[in-house]
A and B are shown apart, each in its own frame.
Chain A
Amino acid sequence: MIHSKKISSKIGIYCLLIAGVVLSIAPFYWMLVGSTLPSGEIFRLPPKLLPGDYLAKNFQSLNESLGFAKIFWNSLFIALVYTLISTLISSMAGYAFAKFKFKGKNLFFFIILCTLMIPSQVTLIPLFEMMVTFNWLNTYQAIILPTLASPFAIYLMRQNMKSVPDSIIEASRVDGAGELKIFFTVILPVSRPAMAAVAIFLFMSQWNSLLWPLITLNSKEMFTLPVALSSLIGMARIDYGQLMLGTTLSTVPIMIFFLLLQKHFISGILGGAVKE
Protein backbone atom coordinates (compact mmCIF):
# COMPACT_ATOMS: atom_id res chain seq x y z
CA MET A 1 0.00 0.00 0.00
CA ILE A 2 2.64 2.50 1.09
CA HIS A 3 4.86 1.31 -1.71
CA SER A 4 2.25 1.96 -4.40
CA LYS A 5 1.62 5.39 -2.95
CA LYS A 6 5.30 6.16 -3.28
CA ILE A 7 5.31 5.05 -6.90
CA SER A 8 2.27 7.11 -7.78
CA SER A 9 3.76 10.23 -6.18
CA LYS A 10 6.92 9.58 -8.14
CA ILE A 11 4.91 9.36 -11.35
CA GLY A 12 3.16 12.57 -10.36
CA ILE A 13 6.46 14.37 -9.93
CA TYR A 14 7.72 13.09 -13.27
CA CYS A 15 4.53 14.23 -15.04
CA LEU A 16 4.86 17.69 -13.52
CA LEU A 17 8.51 17.96 -14.48
CA ILE A 18 8.03 16.67 -18.00
CA ALA A 19 5.11 19.05 -18.56
CA GLY A 20 7.37 21.85 -17.34
CA VAL A 21 10.18 20.80 -19.65
CA VAL A 22 7.83 20.67 -22.64
CA LEU A 23 6.57 24.17 -21.86
CA SER A 24 10.12 25.44 -21.49
CA ILE A 25 11.50 23.86 -24.63
CA ALA A 26 8.55 23.77 -27.07
CA PRO A 27 8.78 27.45 -28.06
CA PHE A 28 12.42 26.88 -29.09
CA TYR A 29 11.51 23.92 -31.26
CA TRP A 30 8.69 25.84 -32.85
CA MET A 31 11.07 28.74 -33.48
CA LEU A 32 13.57 26.42 -35.18
CA VAL A 33 10.87 24.95 -37.42
CA GLY A 34 9.46 28.40 -38.14
CA SER A 35 12.80 29.62 -39.42
CA THR A 36 12.60 27.05 -42.23
CA LEU A 37 9.09 28.03 -43.33
CA PRO A 38 7.76 30.82 -45.54
CA SER A 39 5.86 33.57 -43.75
CA GLY A 40 2.40 32.21 -44.57
CA GLU A 41 3.14 28.68 -43.42
CA ILE A 42 4.13 29.82 -39.94
CA PHE A 43 0.53 30.75 -39.24
CA ARG A 44 -0.96 27.62 -40.77
CA LEU A 45 -3.20 25.60 -38.48
CA PRO A 46 -2.70 22.83 -37.60
CA PRO A 47 0.92 23.92 -37.27
CA LYS A 48 3.76 22.37 -39.21
CA LEU A 49 5.89 20.35 -36.87
CA LEU A 50 8.63 19.38 -39.28
CA PRO A 51 11.16 21.74 -40.87
CA GLY A 52 10.39 23.08 -44.33
CA ASP A 53 12.76 23.99 -47.12
CA TYR A 54 12.59 27.77 -46.90
CA LEU A 55 15.68 28.29 -44.75
CA ALA A 56 17.88 29.59 -47.55
CA LYS A 57 15.19 31.96 -48.81
CA ASN A 58 14.57 33.28 -45.30
CA PHE A 59 18.27 33.84 -44.87
CA GLN A 60 18.43 35.70 -48.14
CA SER A 61 15.61 38.05 -47.20
CA LEU A 62 17.00 38.48 -43.69
CA ASN A 63 20.34 39.39 -45.16
CA GLU A 64 18.72 41.82 -47.58
CA SER A 65 16.73 43.66 -44.94
CA LEU A 66 19.41 43.71 -42.23
CA GLY A 67 22.84 42.95 -43.68
CA PHE A 68 22.93 40.01 -41.35
CA ALA A 69 26.65 39.20 -41.37
CA LYS A 70 27.55 42.69 -40.17
CA ILE A 71 24.93 42.66 -37.44
CA PHE A 72 25.99 39.26 -36.21
CA TRP A 73 29.58 40.49 -36.18
CA ASN A 74 28.60 43.64 -34.24
CA SER A 75 26.92 41.53 -31.56
CA LEU A 76 29.78 39.06 -31.39
CA PHE A 77 32.54 41.66 -31.35
CA ILE A 78 30.86 43.80 -28.71
CA ALA A 79 30.05 40.85 -26.48
CA LEU A 80 33.54 39.32 -26.76
CA VAL A 81 35.51 42.51 -26.15
CA TYR A 82 33.17 43.49 -23.36
CA THR A 83 33.44 40.09 -21.70
CA LEU A 84 37.24 39.95 -21.88
CA ILE A 85 37.89 43.39 -20.46
CA SER A 86 35.07 43.29 -17.95
CA THR A 87 36.15 39.93 -16.56
CA LEU A 88 39.69 41.22 -16.11
CA ILE A 89 38.55 44.44 -14.46
CA SER A 90 36.21 42.68 -12.07
CA SER A 91 38.85 40.08 -11.20
CA MET A 92 41.35 42.80 -10.38
CA ALA A 93 38.88 44.71 -8.26
CA GLY A 94 37.53 41.55 -6.66
CA TYR A 95 41.05 40.49 -5.71
CA ALA A 96 41.87 43.86 -4.17
CA PHE A 97 38.62 43.95 -2.19
CA ALA A 98 39.03 40.38 -0.99
CA LYS A 99 42.71 40.26 -0.13
CA PHE A 100 44.00 43.72 0.71
CA LYS A 101 43.46 46.18 3.51
CA PHE A 102 43.59 49.76 2.33
CA LYS A 103 42.25 53.18 3.13
CA GLY A 104 38.87 53.87 1.57
CA LYS A 105 38.20 50.20 0.91
CA ASN A 106 34.83 50.24 2.64
CA LEU A 107 33.80 53.44 0.92
CA PHE A 108 34.68 52.14 -2.55
CA PHE A 109 32.96 48.85 -1.92
CA PHE A 110 29.92 50.64 -0.57
CA ILE A 111 29.69 52.70 -3.77
CA ILE A 112 29.85 49.52 -5.82
CA LEU A 113 27.11 47.84 -3.77
CA CYS A 114 24.94 50.95 -4.12
CA THR A 115 25.26 50.99 -7.89
CA LEU A 116 24.20 47.34 -7.82
CA MET A 117 20.89 48.38 -6.26
CA ILE A 118 20.18 51.45 -8.39
CA PRO A 119 18.03 50.83 -11.48
CA SER A 120 20.22 51.41 -14.51
CA GLN A 121 17.45 53.39 -16.21
CA VAL A 122 18.42 56.40 -14.11
CA THR A 123 21.64 56.73 -16.04
CA LEU A 124 20.06 56.47 -19.50
CA ILE A 125 19.49 60.15 -20.25
CA PRO A 126 22.78 61.54 -18.88
CA LEU A 127 24.69 58.69 -20.53
CA PHE A 128 22.96 59.46 -23.80
CA GLU A 129 23.94 63.13 -23.45
CA MET A 130 27.51 62.04 -22.73
CA MET A 131 27.57 59.92 -25.85
CA VAL A 132 26.27 62.82 -27.90
CA THR A 133 28.95 65.11 -26.44
CA PHE A 134 31.72 62.59 -27.13
CA ASN A 135 30.25 62.06 -30.59
CA TRP A 136 30.00 58.35 -29.76
CA LEU A 137 26.54 57.51 -31.04
CA ASN A 138 26.70 54.45 -33.30
CA THR A 139 30.05 53.30 -31.97
CA TYR A 140 31.18 50.11 -30.28
CA GLN A 141 32.61 51.97 -27.30
CA ALA A 142 29.24 53.56 -26.58
CA ILE A 143 27.84 50.09 -25.98
CA ILE A 144 30.88 48.62 -24.28
CA LEU A 145 32.12 51.32 -21.88
CA PRO A 146 29.15 52.34 -19.71
CA THR A 147 28.58 48.87 -18.21
CA LEU A 148 32.18 47.68 -18.46
CA ALA A 149 32.63 47.73 -14.70
CA SER A 150 29.82 45.44 -13.62
CA PRO A 151 29.15 45.73 -9.88
CA PHE A 152 27.61 42.25 -9.88
CA ALA A 153 30.73 40.72 -11.45
CA ILE A 154 32.98 42.58 -9.00
CA TYR A 155 30.87 41.35 -6.11
CA LEU A 156 30.97 37.74 -7.32
CA MET A 157 34.73 37.85 -7.93
CA ARG A 158 35.29 39.25 -4.47
CA GLN A 159 33.23 36.47 -2.91
CA ASN A 160 35.25 33.90 -4.82
CA MET A 161 38.66 35.46 -4.24
CA LYS A 162 38.02 35.39 -0.51
CA SER A 163 38.44 31.62 -0.55
CA VAL A 164 41.94 31.86 -2.06
CA PRO A 165 44.30 31.05 0.84
CA ASP A 166 46.46 33.96 2.03
CA SER A 167 49.39 31.58 2.46
CA ILE A 168 49.96 31.12 -1.29
CA ILE A 169 50.04 34.89 -1.77
CA GLU A 170 52.46 35.29 1.13
CA ALA A 171 54.64 32.46 -0.15
CA SER A 172 54.90 34.06 -3.60
CA ARG A 173 55.81 37.38 -2.02
CA VAL A 174 58.55 35.71 0.00
CA ASP A 175 59.81 34.15 -3.23
CA GLY A 176 60.19 37.69 -4.54
CA ALA A 177 57.38 37.67 -7.05
CA GLY A 178 56.01 41.10 -7.96
CA GLU A 179 52.39 41.94 -7.29
CA LEU A 180 51.44 41.79 -10.96
CA LYS A 181 53.12 38.44 -11.33
CA ILE A 182 51.28 37.10 -8.29
CA PHE A 183 47.98 38.27 -9.71
CA PHE A 184 48.49 36.78 -13.16
CA THR A 185 50.32 33.57 -12.31
CA VAL A 186 48.85 32.66 -8.93
CA ILE A 187 45.49 34.33 -8.39
CA LEU A 188 43.95 34.16 -11.85
CA PRO A 189 44.73 30.47 -12.46
CA VAL A 190 43.12 29.39 -9.19
CA SER A 191 40.10 31.61 -9.89
CA ARG A 192 39.39 30.14 -13.30
CA PRO A 193 35.99 28.60 -12.42
CA ALA A 194 34.73 31.87 -10.96
CA MET A 195 36.03 33.80 -13.95
CA ALA A 196 34.33 31.40 -16.31
CA ALA A 197 31.01 31.89 -14.53
CA VAL A 198 31.38 35.65 -14.54
CA ALA A 199 32.45 35.64 -18.19
CA ILE A 200 29.40 33.65 -19.28
CA PHE A 201 27.14 35.92 -17.30
CA LEU A 202 28.67 39.05 -18.82
CA PHE A 203 28.64 37.64 -22.34
CA MET A 204 24.98 36.71 -22.13
CA SER A 205 23.83 39.96 -20.61
CA GLN A 206 25.66 41.92 -23.30
CA TRP A 207 24.53 39.65 -26.15
CA ASN A 208 20.89 39.94 -25.05
CA SER A 209 20.81 43.58 -24.08
CA LEU A 210 18.24 45.77 -25.82
CA LEU A 211 17.46 49.10 -24.16
CA TRP A 212 20.85 50.84 -24.19
CA PRO A 213 21.86 49.70 -27.71
CA LEU A 214 18.40 50.73 -28.90
CA ILE A 215 19.08 54.25 -27.69
CA THR A 216 22.67 54.62 -28.86
CA LEU A 217 22.56 52.82 -32.20
CA ASN A 218 20.49 54.35 -34.94
CA SER A 219 22.42 53.46 -38.05
CA LYS A 220 21.44 50.12 -39.43
CA GLU A 221 24.93 48.76 -39.99
CA MET A 222 25.81 49.29 -36.32
CA PHE A 223 22.76 47.44 -34.96
CA THR A 224 23.20 44.51 -32.61
CA LEU A 225 20.96 41.46 -32.95
CA PRO A 226 18.28 42.46 -30.43
CA VAL A 227 18.03 45.97 -31.88
CA ALA A 228 17.88 44.61 -35.43
CA LEU A 229 15.17 42.13 -34.50
CA SER A 230 13.07 44.76 -32.82
CA SER A 231 13.45 46.93 -35.91
CA LEU A 232 11.97 44.11 -38.01
CA ILE A 233 8.80 44.27 -35.93
CA GLY A 234 8.47 47.95 -36.60
CA MET A 235 8.25 47.34 -40.34
CA ALA A 236 4.95 47.87 -42.11
CA ARG A 237 4.69 44.29 -43.32
CA ILE A 238 6.36 41.82 -41.04
CA ASP A 239 8.04 38.94 -42.84
CA TYR A 240 7.59 36.25 -40.20
CA GLY A 241 9.87 33.73 -41.88
CA GLN A 242 12.86 36.03 -41.71
CA LEU A 243 11.86 37.16 -38.23
CA MET A 244 11.86 33.56 -37.00
CA LEU A 245 15.21 32.89 -38.61
CA GLY A 246 16.58 36.06 -37.02
CA THR A 247 15.44 35.00 -33.55
CA THR A 248 16.87 31.53 -34.13
CA LEU A 249 20.24 32.92 -35.17
CA SER A 250 20.31 35.20 -32.17
CA THR A 251 19.39 32.38 -29.79
CA VAL A 252 21.08 29.23 -31.02
CA PRO A 253 24.70 30.41 -30.73
CA ILE A 254 24.23 31.51 -27.16
CA MET A 255 22.42 28.28 -26.36
CA ILE A 256 25.33 26.20 -27.64
CA PHE A 257 27.74 28.42 -25.76
CA PHE A 258 25.67 27.95 -22.62
CA LEU A 259 25.33 24.19 -23.02
CA LEU A 260 29.10 23.85 -23.33
CA LEU A 261 29.73 25.86 -20.18
CA GLN A 262 26.53 25.43 -18.18
CA LYS A 263 28.19 23.56 -15.34
CA HIS A 264 30.40 26.51 -14.50
CA PHE A 265 27.63 28.97 -15.04
CA ILE A 266 24.96 27.50 -12.81
CA SER A 267 27.29 26.60 -9.96
CA GLY A 268 29.27 29.83 -10.19
CA ILE A 269 26.58 32.44 -10.57
CA LEU A 270 23.77 30.90 -8.63
CA GLY A 271 25.95 29.29 -6.00
CA GLY A 272 27.50 32.68 -5.34
CA ALA A 273 24.11 34.31 -5.25
CA VAL A 274 22.63 31.84 -2.80
CA LYS A 275 25.58 31.75 -0.43
CA GLU A 276 25.45 35.50 -0.10
Chain B
Amino acid sequence: MEQTEKVVNTKKSFRVKERKSLLTPKNVPYVFIAPAVLLILIFTVYPVIFSFILSFQEVRGLEKSFVGFANYSRLFQDPIFYKSLLNTFQILIVQVPIMLFLSLLIAVGLHSSMLKGKAFFRISFFMPAITALVAASIVFMILLDEHFGLVNYLLSFVGVEAIPWLTTPFWAKVSVILVMTWRWTGYNMVIFLAGLQNIPSELYEAASIDGASKVKQFFMITIPQLKPVFIFTVVMSTIGTLQLFDEPFILTQGGPNNATMTITLYLYEAGFKFFDFGYASAIAYVLVIITAIISWVQMKLVGDE
Protein backbone atom coordinates (compact mmCIF):
# COMPACT_ATOMS: atom_id res chain seq x y z
CA MET B 1 0.00 0.00 0.00
CA GLU B 2 2.67 2.39 1.10
CA GLN B 3 4.80 1.33 -1.76
CA THR B 4 2.20 2.02 -4.42
CA GLU B 5 1.66 5.44 -2.94
CA LYS B 6 5.34 6.13 -3.27
CA VAL B 7 5.30 5.03 -6.86
CA VAL B 8 2.37 7.31 -7.58
CA ASN B 9 4.17 10.14 -5.89
CA THR B 10 7.32 9.78 -7.89
CA LYS B 11 5.24 9.48 -11.02
CA LYS B 12 3.48 12.70 -10.16
CA SER B 13 6.63 14.65 -9.52
CA PHE B 14 8.10 13.20 -12.66
CA ARG B 15 5.11 14.41 -14.63
CA VAL B 16 5.38 17.90 -13.21
CA LYS B 17 9.02 18.03 -14.13
CA GLU B 18 8.29 16.80 -17.61
CA ARG B 19 5.63 19.45 -18.08
CA LYS B 20 7.99 22.15 -17.02
CA SER B 21 10.62 21.05 -19.44
CA LEU B 22 8.09 20.87 -22.25
CA LEU B 23 6.69 24.33 -21.72
CA THR B 24 9.80 26.47 -21.66
CA PRO B 25 9.54 30.06 -22.86
CA LYS B 26 11.26 28.80 -25.96
CA ASN B 27 8.69 26.28 -27.15
CA VAL B 28 5.64 27.63 -25.39
CA PRO B 29 4.66 29.87 -28.32
CA TYR B 30 4.52 26.83 -30.60
CA VAL B 31 2.30 25.01 -28.16
CA PHE B 32 0.05 28.07 -27.93
CA ILE B 33 -0.36 28.59 -31.66
CA ALA B 34 -0.55 24.87 -32.44
CA PRO B 35 -4.34 24.41 -32.18
CA ALA B 36 -5.11 27.50 -34.26
CA VAL B 37 -2.46 26.81 -36.89
CA LEU B 38 -3.34 23.12 -37.19
CA LEU B 39 -7.04 23.88 -37.57
CA ILE B 40 -6.36 26.54 -40.17
CA LEU B 41 -4.02 24.27 -42.11
CA ILE B 42 -6.53 21.41 -42.11
CA PHE B 43 -9.78 23.28 -42.61
CA THR B 44 -8.72 26.32 -44.64
CA VAL B 45 -5.33 26.02 -46.31
CA TYR B 46 -5.77 22.43 -47.43
CA PRO B 47 -9.29 23.07 -48.85
CA VAL B 48 -8.10 26.23 -50.61
CA ILE B 49 -5.39 24.24 -52.40
CA PHE B 50 -7.66 21.27 -52.98
CA SER B 51 -10.37 23.42 -54.53
CA PHE B 52 -7.80 24.89 -56.92
CA ILE B 53 -7.02 21.37 -58.13
CA LEU B 54 -10.72 20.54 -58.25
CA SER B 55 -11.36 23.49 -60.53
CA PHE B 56 -9.36 21.66 -63.22
CA GLN B 57 -11.24 18.43 -62.75
CA GLU B 58 -14.54 16.98 -63.70
CA VAL B 59 -16.26 15.18 -60.87
CA ARG B 60 -18.77 12.45 -61.61
CA GLY B 61 -19.84 10.70 -58.48
CA LEU B 62 -16.58 9.36 -57.10
CA GLU B 63 -14.73 9.62 -60.40
CA LYS B 64 -12.46 12.58 -60.94
CA SER B 65 -10.63 13.35 -64.13
CA PHE B 66 -8.44 16.26 -65.17
CA VAL B 67 -10.01 18.41 -67.84
CA GLY B 68 -7.57 21.31 -67.96
CA PHE B 69 -9.25 24.66 -68.34
CA ALA B 70 -12.56 23.16 -69.46
CA ASN B 71 -14.43 24.39 -66.37
CA TYR B 72 -13.09 27.89 -66.82
CA SER B 73 -13.81 28.09 -70.53
CA ARG B 74 -17.31 26.78 -69.86
CA LEU B 75 -17.66 29.44 -67.18
CA PHE B 76 -16.77 32.22 -69.56
CA GLN B 77 -19.46 31.06 -71.98
CA ASP B 78 -22.10 30.66 -69.32
CA PRO B 79 -24.73 33.43 -69.53
CA ILE B 80 -25.97 32.76 -66.00
CA PHE B 81 -22.48 33.16 -64.61
CA TYR B 82 -22.10 36.48 -66.42
CA LYS B 83 -25.46 37.51 -65.08
CA SER B 84 -24.45 36.61 -61.54
CA LEU B 85 -21.27 38.67 -61.93
CA LEU B 86 -23.20 41.60 -63.33
CA ASN B 87 -25.85 41.39 -60.59
CA THR B 88 -23.25 41.25 -57.86
CA PHE B 89 -21.49 44.31 -59.24
CA GLN B 90 -24.71 46.24 -59.78
CA ILE B 91 -25.70 45.61 -56.20
CA LEU B 92 -22.19 46.47 -55.02
CA ILE B 93 -21.97 49.75 -56.89
CA VAL B 94 -25.38 50.95 -55.76
CA GLN B 95 -25.57 49.55 -52.26
CA VAL B 96 -22.17 50.26 -50.75
CA PRO B 97 -22.07 54.02 -51.50
CA ILE B 98 -25.67 54.55 -50.37
CA MET B 99 -25.09 52.63 -47.18
CA LEU B 100 -21.79 54.29 -46.33
CA PHE B 101 -23.23 57.73 -47.05
CA LEU B 102 -26.16 57.04 -44.71
CA SER B 103 -23.81 55.61 -42.08
CA LEU B 104 -21.58 58.65 -42.19
CA LEU B 105 -24.54 61.04 -42.13
CA ILE B 106 -26.01 59.38 -39.05
CA ALA B 107 -22.62 59.09 -37.36
CA VAL B 108 -21.89 62.79 -37.85
CA GLY B 109 -25.37 63.67 -36.59
CA LEU B 110 -24.94 61.45 -33.59
CA HIS B 111 -21.45 62.75 -32.89
CA SER B 112 -22.49 66.40 -32.58
CA SER B 113 -21.75 67.14 -28.98
CA MET B 114 -24.99 68.55 -27.58
CA LEU B 115 -27.03 65.47 -28.33
CA LYS B 116 -28.77 63.50 -25.60
CA GLY B 117 -29.40 59.76 -25.55
CA LYS B 118 -26.37 58.81 -27.66
CA ALA B 119 -26.16 55.32 -26.22
CA PHE B 120 -29.81 54.67 -26.99
CA PHE B 121 -29.41 55.76 -30.62
CA ARG B 122 -26.23 53.81 -31.05
CA ILE B 123 -27.74 50.58 -29.76
CA SER B 124 -30.95 51.04 -31.75
CA PHE B 125 -29.06 51.55 -34.98
CA PHE B 126 -26.87 48.57 -34.25
CA MET B 127 -29.79 46.20 -33.63
CA PRO B 128 -30.29 45.10 -37.25
CA ALA B 129 -26.65 44.04 -37.46
CA ILE B 130 -27.07 41.35 -34.84
CA THR B 131 -30.07 39.58 -36.36
CA ALA B 132 -29.60 36.56 -38.53
CA LEU B 133 -29.71 37.47 -42.20
CA VAL B 134 -32.20 34.65 -42.57
CA ALA B 135 -34.54 36.24 -40.03
CA ALA B 136 -34.16 39.70 -41.54
CA SER B 137 -34.78 38.36 -45.03
CA ILE B 138 -37.89 36.48 -43.92
CA VAL B 139 -39.36 39.55 -42.25
CA PHE B 140 -38.70 41.66 -45.33
CA MET B 141 -40.03 38.97 -47.62
CA ILE B 142 -43.38 39.39 -45.90
CA LEU B 143 -43.15 43.18 -45.61
CA LEU B 144 -42.40 43.49 -49.32
CA ASP B 145 -45.27 41.30 -50.55
CA GLU B 146 -46.78 42.98 -53.58
CA HIS B 147 -50.44 42.74 -52.61
CA PHE B 148 -50.53 42.37 -48.85
CA GLY B 149 -47.17 43.75 -47.72
CA LEU B 150 -46.94 46.60 -45.28
CA VAL B 151 -44.45 48.54 -47.39
CA ASN B 152 -46.77 48.87 -50.38
CA TYR B 153 -49.65 49.67 -48.03
CA LEU B 154 -47.70 52.56 -46.49
CA LEU B 155 -46.59 53.74 -49.93
CA SER B 156 -50.21 53.82 -51.08
CA PHE B 157 -50.79 56.72 -48.68
CA VAL B 158 -48.35 58.86 -50.61
CA GLY B 159 -49.95 57.81 -53.87
CA VAL B 160 -47.41 55.20 -54.96
CA GLU B 161 -48.93 52.27 -56.82
CA ALA B 162 -48.23 48.75 -55.63
CA ILE B 163 -44.60 47.88 -56.41
CA PRO B 164 -43.88 44.26 -57.46
CA TRP B 165 -40.89 44.08 -55.13
CA LEU B 166 -39.93 40.44 -55.34
CA THR B 167 -41.47 39.45 -58.65
CA THR B 168 -39.81 41.70 -61.21
CA PRO B 169 -36.09 41.73 -61.97
CA PHE B 170 -35.49 45.40 -61.27
CA TRP B 171 -37.38 45.59 -57.99
CA ALA B 172 -36.01 42.27 -56.78
CA LYS B 173 -32.55 43.79 -56.93
CA VAL B 174 -33.82 46.87 -55.15
CA SER B 175 -35.29 44.62 -52.45
CA VAL B 176 -31.96 42.88 -51.87
CA ILE B 177 -30.30 46.29 -51.65
CA LEU B 178 -32.94 47.49 -49.18
CA VAL B 179 -32.46 44.52 -46.88
CA MET B 180 -28.68 44.83 -47.00
CA THR B 181 -28.86 48.54 -46.27
CA TRP B 182 -31.26 47.96 -43.39
CA ARG B 183 -28.97 45.41 -41.88
CA TRP B 184 -25.54 47.02 -42.29
CA THR B 185 -26.02 50.81 -42.08
CA GLY B 186 -26.01 50.86 -38.28
CA TYR B 187 -22.98 48.61 -38.15
CA ASN B 188 -20.94 50.93 -40.33
CA MET B 189 -22.35 53.92 -38.49
CA VAL B 190 -20.87 52.64 -35.24
CA ILE B 191 -17.49 52.16 -36.93
CA PHE B 192 -17.61 55.74 -38.24
CA LEU B 193 -18.65 56.93 -34.80
CA ALA B 194 -15.63 55.25 -33.24
CA GLY B 195 -13.48 56.89 -35.91
CA LEU B 196 -14.99 60.32 -35.25
CA GLN B 197 -14.33 59.95 -31.55
CA ASN B 198 -10.67 59.26 -32.28
CA ILE B 199 -10.16 62.61 -34.03
CA PRO B 200 -8.37 64.94 -31.61
CA SER B 201 -10.61 67.87 -30.72
CA GLU B 202 -7.64 70.29 -30.82
CA LEU B 203 -7.79 70.08 -34.62
CA TYR B 204 -11.30 71.53 -34.61
CA GLU B 205 -10.43 74.14 -31.99
CA ALA B 206 -7.49 75.36 -34.03
CA ALA B 207 -9.63 75.46 -37.16
CA SER B 208 -12.39 77.50 -35.51
CA ILE B 209 -9.80 79.96 -34.22
CA ASP B 210 -8.61 80.30 -37.81
CA GLY B 211 -12.21 81.04 -38.72
CA ALA B 212 -12.97 77.88 -40.71
CA SER B 213 -16.69 77.19 -41.10
CA LYS B 214 -18.28 73.93 -39.91
CA VAL B 215 -18.64 72.74 -43.49
CA LYS B 216 -15.03 73.54 -44.25
CA GLN B 217 -13.95 71.79 -41.06
CA PHE B 218 -15.90 68.73 -42.15
CA PHE B 219 -14.10 68.50 -45.48
CA MET B 220 -10.67 69.62 -44.28
CA ILE B 221 -10.49 67.72 -40.99
CA THR B 222 -13.21 65.09 -40.60
CA ILE B 223 -13.00 63.44 -44.01
CA PRO B 224 -9.17 63.20 -44.17
CA GLN B 225 -8.97 61.99 -40.57
CA LEU B 226 -11.57 59.32 -41.27
CA LYS B 227 -9.61 57.96 -44.22
CA PRO B 228 -8.41 54.75 -42.55
CA VAL B 229 -11.93 54.09 -41.31
CA PHE B 230 -13.24 54.65 -44.84
CA ILE B 231 -10.78 52.15 -46.23
CA PHE B 232 -11.84 49.63 -43.63
CA THR B 233 -15.58 50.03 -44.25
CA VAL B 234 -15.30 50.11 -48.04
CA VAL B 235 -13.10 47.01 -48.16
CA MET B 236 -15.23 45.10 -45.68
CA SER B 237 -18.51 46.03 -47.39
CA THR B 238 -17.10 45.12 -50.78
CA ILE B 239 -15.88 41.74 -49.61
CA GLY B 240 -19.23 41.16 -47.90
CA THR B 241 -21.20 42.04 -51.03
CA LEU B 242 -19.05 39.83 -53.25
CA GLN B 243 -20.03 36.94 -50.98
CA LEU B 244 -23.73 37.83 -50.93
CA PHE B 245 -25.83 34.74 -50.34
CA ASP B 246 -28.39 34.73 -47.52
CA GLU B 247 -30.59 37.60 -48.69
CA PRO B 248 -31.19 36.48 -52.29
CA PHE B 249 -31.43 32.86 -51.17
CA ILE B 250 -34.32 33.67 -48.84
CA LEU B 251 -35.95 36.63 -50.58
CA THR B 252 -35.99 35.53 -54.20
CA GLN B 253 -33.99 32.28 -54.61
CA GLY B 254 -31.97 34.13 -57.22
CA GLY B 255 -34.99 35.00 -59.32
CA PRO B 256 -36.98 36.35 -61.03
CA ASN B 257 -35.21 35.38 -64.24
CA ASN B 258 -31.86 35.18 -62.36
CA ALA B 259 -32.04 38.89 -61.56
CA THR B 260 -30.72 38.30 -58.04
CA MET B 261 -28.43 35.39 -58.82
CA THR B 262 -25.13 36.17 -57.12
CA ILE B 263 -21.75 34.53 -57.49
CA THR B 264 -22.05 32.64 -54.23
CA LEU B 265 -25.62 31.60 -54.88
CA TYR B 266 -24.58 30.27 -58.27
CA LEU B 267 -21.66 28.44 -56.68
CA TYR B 268 -24.08 26.90 -54.20
CA GLU B 269 -26.41 25.79 -56.98
CA ALA B 270 -23.65 24.34 -59.12
CA GLY B 271 -22.12 22.52 -56.17
CA PHE B 272 -25.07 21.39 -54.12
CA LYS B 273 -27.98 21.28 -56.50
CA PHE B 274 -26.17 19.80 -59.49
CA PHE B 275 -23.17 18.37 -57.60
CA ASP B 276 -20.89 19.74 -60.27
CA PHE B 277 -17.93 20.13 -57.90
CA GLY B 278 -15.31 20.97 -60.51
CA TYR B 279 -17.44 23.70 -62.03
CA ALA B 280 -18.36 25.09 -58.62
CA SER B 281 -14.67 25.21 -57.67
CA ALA B 282 -13.92 27.19 -60.81
CA ILE B 283 -16.62 29.69 -59.78
CA ALA B 284 -15.05 29.84 -56.32
CA TYR B 285 -11.65 30.62 -57.78
CA VAL B 286 -13.00 33.38 -59.95
CA LEU B 287 -14.50 34.83 -56.77
CA VAL B 288 -11.10 34.67 -55.05
CA ILE B 289 -9.41 36.44 -57.93
CA ILE B 290 -12.06 39.16 -58.11
CA THR B 291 -11.89 39.71 -54.35
CA ALA B 292 -8.11 39.94 -54.44
CA ILE B 293 -8.08 42.38 -57.37
CA ILE B 294 -10.76 44.63 -55.91
CA SER B 295 -9.23 44.74 -52.44
CA TRP B 296 -5.86 45.54 -53.95
CA VAL B 297 -7.26 48.29 -56.20
CA GLN B 298 -9.18 49.83 -53.31
CA MET B 299 -6.11 49.84 -51.11
CA LYS B 300 -4.13 51.51 -53.91
CA LEU B 301 -6.85 54.04 -54.75
CA VAL B 302 -7.15 55.32 -51.24
CA GLY B 303 -3.39 55.40 -50.85
CA ASP B 304 -0.94 53.14 -49.11
CA GLU B 305 -0.92 53.34 -45.39
A residues engaging B (CB < 8 A)?
10, 13-14, 16-17, 20-21, 23-25, 27-28, 30-31, 34, 42-47, 89-90, 92-93, 95-97, 100, 102, 105, 108, 111-112, 115, 117-130, 145-149, 151, 154, 173, 178-180, 183, 204, 207-208, 210-211, 215, 225-226, 229-230, 233, 240, 243-244, 247, 250-251, 254-255, 258-259, 262, 266, 270-271, 273-276
Contact = CB atoms under 8 A, between A and B. Distances in A.
27 contacts: A13-B112, A16-B106, A20-B125, A20-B185, A24-B124, A28-B127, A89-B39, A96-B30, A119-B243, A121-B287, A122-B48, A124-B284, A125-B47, A125-B54, A129-B277, A147-B43, A149-B37, A178-B23, A210-B246, A247-B138, A250-B132, A250-B134, A251-B132, A251-B135, A254-B130, A266-B190, A273-B194
B3 to A, nearest CB: 30
Contact of B33 (A97, A123, A226, A230): A97
Contacts of B106: 16-17, 20
B70 interface: no
A226 B124 CA distance: 23
Given A125-B54, A210-B132, A89 B36 contact: yes
Interface centre among A90, A111, A112, A121 (most CB of B within 10 A): A121
Given A21-B121, A125-B277, A233-B250, A119 B242 contact: yes
A33 B229 CA distance: 38
A45 B153 CA distance: 7
B219 to A, nearest CB: 18
A148 B39 contact: yes
Contacts of A151: 40
B36 A119 contact: no
Chain A's interface: helix, strand, loop or mixed, by majority? helix
Interface stretch (B7-15, B169-177, B264-272): B264-272
A121 B32 CA distance: 28
B180 interface: no
B229 A274 contact: yes
B42 to A, nearest CB: 8
Given A127-B43, A247-B135, A276 B232 contact: yes
